[in-house]
Structure 1
Amino acid sequence: MPTQIKAKDTLQKSIAVLPFVNMSSDKENEYFCDGITEEIINALAKIDGLRVTSRTSSFYFKGKNIPISNIGQELGVETLLEGSVRLSGNSLRITAQLIQADEDFHFWSETWDRKSDNIFAVQDEVSLLIAEKLREHFGHFDIQEHLVTQQTESLDAYTLYLKGRYYLNKWNPEDCKTAIDCFNQALRTDPNHPNSLTGLADSYSFLATTGFISYEEGWGKCAALTNQALAINNQLPEAYYQLANLSFFTEADFEKSFNTIKKGLDINPNHVESQQFLSFLYILAGQNEDSKKHLDFALKIDPLSQETQFYSAYLDYMLENYQEALVKLHKCLEVNPRNIPAHTVIANSLVMLGEADQVIDYFDRMPSEIIVPAEKVGNMALAYILKEDENQARSSFRLLNEISKQEGGFAAEVYILLYHVYTGQFEKAFDWMVNAKENKYPLLLLRFADPMMNAIKAEPRYLELKHQLFPPALFDKRRLEKTKKALLNDATVKAFKDKLTYFIEEKELFLNPDLSLRSLAEELDIHPNQLSWILNESIGKNFNAYINHYRIKEFKRLAKDPSKAHITVIGLAYESGFNSKTVFNTYFKKETGLTPRQFLKNLKV
């Protein structure tokens, strides 16, 4: 398992949604529960300023009896959401509760009894209320009017889509073909399900990249499916992720790929695949700090994902930390021995470490059905060069040329480039690169900054070509961090603060145990986003801290009133506006440094 995220790395306003428990008598409803969990994750991830752990890492804890505080530490989050789903016929019951992870403090819970006719409307209702309660607890962020849109009218299509994603994430051709079957079944049920279209696009791009289907066929299908999905819904970060991949792998257009992936992240900054891909683009361009920044964010939102761990290993490889890369890559293979990209980078790392014999033997230990011939022959050619075995090196080179002419043999060509570099034939290497650039050959971008190219990197022609492939101006024009603009002017803020003080102190709205930020905003005739902003930016407190301050003040007043001496501590708390003993005790201790009973005891002294 990956190293735990240290507490000091935990960002504020962070949450992990744990898999909802299937309380239905029919265990086949498991995917239904998973679907609700995933949609809540996706919904919360749309909120700017809230870091949401991705599905992969959250689902690691499915069915495991691990203390809440340990899960929070493992995922590096402040808050956890857990819940359950019971489906019986058309009746649906959802329960959810928010927990402060470090203290295992349950600060909110709710139950919904609804009909399952429109599951997406139910998910939207649930997600919006959870978002509201998070804002009341954390502090300000804007919440949209709707967080969940209806993907499809068919629950069957949605469930098949989820199954397809599960198999696709295994990163091998056999499971990828199973995923394709699931996505096609979903699309037969609903031909206009955009998420199944992007899942199918992702599957074909993977098979094309790894050489298990024709490059042209795979990426051609990916392009058509992605554009079809965007025509249905242009707010899919998954689709922009695919477009960025298309720009890179079919057009060799780094700048277009770079701008497209940033567009997807504007829609959902918590989309982990896009964060990983942007990190990947930055490292290829030699922008190491930016690459690490985006990978670190991806690791925070998806720390237990094998895909994220692979990108972490790849970054180590590109930074020439080969031993660290190998440790991470072997951990990936412990979970999935058929992870093709992991095997490729392991072989490349061994080449860079000069372990020629290990490289030559490595492919004999791999499952034969996942060996990419070009990767095997290419790495062996480089190993024989390291061993100074010219005959075997030339033999491998001839075989590379033969493979490069076969269907799906495009990966062999880049090893021809590396062969020229390793044998000091720089003129041939530059001729290959110029031709690759003119013909928009994507693997030039992929391998240009690779450590295997180190021998040629000091050449003036290399630096000139680098500027052409990765325009420096692209990074000079980076979007500046947005300066926070005041949501309201000073006069408006003062007017609303005065009104707020009147409603709280004079009308004592805090005594209402069901008071929420939204209901208080309605009383003030102000948008909830604006009230949240005033509380956070002008008063310096989140909603819960602000309201509970008045409730604690009221409790202290009541506790000193002799006519209330017969009322229990929790009774006084309820009269002060609290509706939870745990919440009362927690906030009282936070504000006073004492427990309620210690406070009462001090009154008698």
Structure 2
Amino acid sequence: MLLLVTNLAAVTAPAPQKVSLAVLPFVNRSADGANEFFCDGITEEIINALAGIEQLKVISRTSSFFFKNFEGPLSEIGDQLHVSVVLEGSVRFHGDQLRISAQLINVADDSHFWSETWDRKLENIFDTQDEISRLIAEKLREHWGHLDVADRLLTAKTSSLGAYERYLQGQYLFNQWNPESANQAIAQFEQALAQDAGLIEAHLGMADSYSFLAVAGFAPREEAWRKAQEHIKKAVALDANHAGLNYMLANDAFFTRASYQEAMQYGQRSLAAKPNYAEAQRFMAFLYILRGDMSVAHRHLQYAKSIDPLNPETRFYEAYYYYLAGEYTLAKQILKELLAANEKNVPALVTTLYVLLSARQWQEAAAFLEGIPAELMTPDERLGMECLLMALETSTPPAGLAQLTQHAEAPEAHHAHTYLFLVQVVLGRFDAAFAVLDKLFTVQSSVLLLSFSYPLAEPLRADARYAEYHRRIYALEPAPAQKPAKPKATGLETAKAQAYAETLKRYVAQEKPYLDPTLSLRALAHQIEIHPNQLSWLLNEYLQQNFNEFINHRRIEHFKQLVVDPANAHISLVGLAFESGFNSKTVFNTAFKKKEGITPKAYQKGQLSAGEQGEQ
């Protein structure tokens, strides 16, 4: 191989970060069930808002929605998504009012450590989504660790509620991935744009829908592509740096113009706008795989898997990585799983054939090819596969080579080009192979661009011309100079951190704010006059305690003073806990046992016994 493969250990997802979260689809509690699209939209907005927090790992929409209507144990969600916390929620609509409920659950012990309900007007949906997202972030950092939480996590996509509703309906329909729903989605996006022509997400939805119809063959190809391009141009005029737009432009550059360099540039722009964009992370992995930069591809693939592990596209690119790395057994197993879930997964079908051919499993490849329905392969692709299989088996020109060569004369016969190229390589006809490869530059064949890096084309690497073609095909301009990273807003110099810590401890000792059961990190920060993000950093990074540990420690110490005071003998343990600032019996008992190693009742008995012995 060109480069040694980095062992992904089946591209296992990394261990959970300090704070890792899955936002499950919000449940529609409305009587008529007509607002399912709105519930999905709220879920997606909260995912996007929280994903913008640097220290928080948030599972992407596709993998989270895998568990829509899931009724199994929470531990299964945690195991499959590799998260420590799950957010569940529901929405109930009543006229122009909506009630949103949410709760955070610790996966390890299935404990609900926070819940809240909001009654709001539908017209305030954007502010409500931001409010909910910020409060969730606040509670996560109080319980789990430092997060930098901005004063606002979401900005309104539009000032028109009607346009937003039509956009959400369109997105809901498009995500069903069938031609009927795609056409219905287009109608919704059109209505959204009629109310707000500047809604960039609706333009991207139109482009996505028309592209899907064009690629899948459910609309006149040229007309559908033209309409998709019209909306892409409008989106560029609205926000050229939009992550989703640049991801779309990266795909357009690669698959319609065979421009590896442009695809790479747009992919980089997409990630610059949104580093946790799983689609762009996968696409960048794909580009680096083709170029042979397996270690860089590995990093992008690992990132994609950490935030979107259940997405079939993530699994496919994992298999693709192994295929081009020569790890055929691993690639074959993943592709088998993908086809078990969807037997019409065309990329998985074709890649399986390439894996079998590369592994020299001729008979299995022939049987597999024969079993693929005619409607799932173009005639040129089937002819090309048959020729390639025969050339590999016999090392002689296949019977269909003349027909394949004739078909490859057509400029748009991209499948014929790529198979003719591979057959010529297999037969050792390198001059002929390079002659076919030259079509890549004249007809902009992305299929040829792909096949140049395939293991079956590896013999070509011994030719003196290979390096120059590799440079031309996978051309890269030098990366632009990076702007210096802005200094972290929350990091404190040692002297300043020490001063703030002393101020905090002195204030807490004197004023006892922990006796207020509603005390939050943000409220305490306001009381000692520092930014909440700085207090979060001070507690977690400097004092090595999260907010709850810091406050509950002092509540427990206060309780211990109360419980030995004879004047409080008539008050129950729970009553004393509430007097100490706790507002939950379960939280009190758990925190006390964790700190003291015994239950509150056992502690009380021990103190009473010690007191009696002292009196004797």
TM-score normalized by the length of structure 1 = 0.89
Aligned to 2:115: 109
1:211/1:344 Cα in 2 relative to 1: closer, same or farther (>3 Å)?
farther
Map 1:187-586 to 2 at 5 A.
187-190=190-193, 191-206=197-212, 221-233=227-239, 236-388=242-394, 393-396=398-401, 398-399=403-404, 401-402=406-407, 405=410, 409-437=413-441, 440-470=444-474, 487-586=491-590
The structure-2 alpha-carbon separation of the partners of 1:437 and 1:561, relative to structure 1 and needing over 3 Å to count, comes to farther
Aligned-pair CA distance for 1:383: 0.8
Counterpart residue identity of residue 569, structure 2: A
Contact 1:397–1:416 (8 Å) recurs in 2 = no
SS, match of residue 123 in structure 2: coil
Q: Structure 1 residues 61 and 198 mapped into 2: Cα distance closer, same or farther (>3 Å)?
A: same
Determine if contact 1:183/1:197 at 8 Å carries over to the other structure. Answer: no
Rounded Cα–Cα distance in structure 1 between residues aligned with 2:86 and 2:458 = 46
| Letter of the 1:466 counterpart | H
Residue 159 of structure 1 aligns with an amino acid whose one-letter code is: L
The 2-side partners of 1:239 and 1:189 are apart by 18
Q: Structure 2: how far apart are the matches of 1:36 and 1:523?
A: 33
Task: Report the CA distance shift for 1:436/1:212 in structure 2 as closer, same or farther (over 3 A).
Answer: farther
What are the superposed Cα offsets for residues 456-507 of structure 1, whole Å, 9 maximum, x if unpaired?
1233321333244446885899999999686344444344333322321211
Q: Distance in 2 between matches of 1:485 and 1:145?
A: 13
How far does residue 303 in structure 1 lie from its aligned partner after superposition?
1.8
Q: Report if aligned partners of 2:185, 2:209 keep a CA contact under 8 Å in 1.
A: no
Q: Which residue of 1 aligns with 2:4?
A: none
Q: Give the secondary structure class of the aligned counterpart of 1:41.
A: helix
**What amino acid does structure 1 have at the position aligned with 2:407?**
E
Which residue of structure 2 lines up, in the alignment, with residue 79 of structure 1? Answer: 85
| Residue 394 (structure 1) shift | 4.1
TM-superposed CA distance for 1:227, in Å, is 3.6
Structure 1's 260 and 585: CA in aligned 2 closer, same or farther, altered over 3 A?
farther
* In structure 2, distance between residues paired with 1:476 and 1:35: 36
1:164 counterpart letter in structure 2: L
Residue 440 of structure 1 and its aligned partner are, at CA, apart by 4.9
TM-score w.r.t. the length of structure 2 is: 0.88
Could you say what secondary structure the match of 1:27 adopts? coil
Contact 2:101 2:115 in 1 (8 A): yes
> Cα RMSD between the aligned structures?
3.1
Instruction: Return the alpha-carbon distance in structure 2 between the equivalents of residues 419 and 69 of structure 1.
Output: 50
Name the counterpart of 2:189. 186
SS in 1 for 2:176: helix
Measured in 1, the distance between the counterparts of 2:260 and 2:153 equals 32
SS in 2 for 1:245: helix
Over alpha carbons, which structure has the higher Rg? 2
Note closer, same or farther for the CA distance 1:251–1:453 as it changes in structure 2 (3 Å cut).
same
Letter of the 1:395 partner, please give it.
G
Alignment of 1:50-129 (within 5 A): 50-129=56-135
**Contact map agreement 1:98 1:106 (CA 8 A) in 2:** yes
Bigger Cα displacement from structure 2, 21-30 vs 382-391: 382-391
C-alpha deviations, 1:163-190, integer Å up to 9, x for none?
A: 234223xxxxxx2563244134322333
Whether the 8 Å CA contact 2:28–2:91 is kept in 1: the answer is: yes
User: For 1:215 and 1:390, how far apart are their aligned partners in 2?
Assistant: 38
CA distance in 1 between counterparts of 2:421 and 2:11 reads 40
Question: 1:560/1:367 Cα in 2 relative to 1: closer, same or farther (>3 Å)?
Answer: farther
Measure, in 2, the Cα distance between the counterparts of 1:396 and 1:585: 78
Question: Could you tell which deviates more after superposition, 233-242 or 57-66?
Answer: 233-242
Deviation at 1:77, TM superposition (A): 0.2
Shift of 1:524: 2.5
- What's the secondary structure of 2:30's corresponding residue? coil
Closer, same or farther: CA 5–444 of 1 in aligned 2, 3 Å:
closer
Tell me which amino acid in the other structure corresponds to 1:405.
Answer: A
CA distance 1:411–1:562, change in 2 (3 Å): farther
Cα contact 2:203–2:235 (8 A) shared by 1: yes
Gaps (5+ residues) in structure 2? 1-8, 610-616
Deviation track 1:392-445 (CA, whole Å, cap 9, x = no partner) reads: x242552364266275x3232222211211111111222333452466543343
Q: Tell me how far apart the structure 2 counterparts of residues 265 and 491 of structure 1 sit (CA, whole Å).
A: 36
Query: Within 2, Cα distance between the matches of 1:364 and 1:480?
Result: 56
The answer to whether the Cα contact below 8 Å between 1:381 and 1:396 also exists between their aligned partners in 2 is yes
Q: Please say which of residues 199-208 and 306-315 is displaced more in the overlay.
A: 199-208
8 A Cα contact 1:252 1:445, kept in partner: yes
2:170 aligned partner: 161
Once the two structures are TM-superposed, the CA of residue 387 in structure 1 deviates from its matched residue by 3.1
Check if 1:144 corresponds to 2:147. Answer: no
**Deviation for aligned residue 1:258:** 2.5
Give the length in aligned residue pairs: 595
Structure 1: gaps of 5 or more residues: 169-174
Give the AA of the match of 2:607: L
> In the aligned structure 2, how far is the partner of 1:118 from the partner of 1:554?
42
Give the Cα separation in 2 of the matches to 1:264 and 1:303.
20
2:141 and 2:282 map into 1 onto residues whose CA distance is 28
Q: 1:595: how far off?
A: 3.1
Q: In the aligned structure 2, how far is the partner of 1:530 from the partner of 1:315?
A: 42
Q: In structure 2, the residue corresponding to 1:87 is in which secondary structure?
A: strand
- Aligned residue number for residue 613 of structure 2: none
Cα offsets for 1:285-319 (capped at 9, x unmatched): 21212222221222222222222111122112112
Show the 5 A alignment for 1:7-46: 9-46=15-52
Q: Specify the SS of the correspondent of 1:117.
A: helix
The answer as to whether partners of 1:219 and 1:250 remain within 8 angstroms in 2 is no
Structure 2 residue matching 1:520: 3-state secondary structure: helix
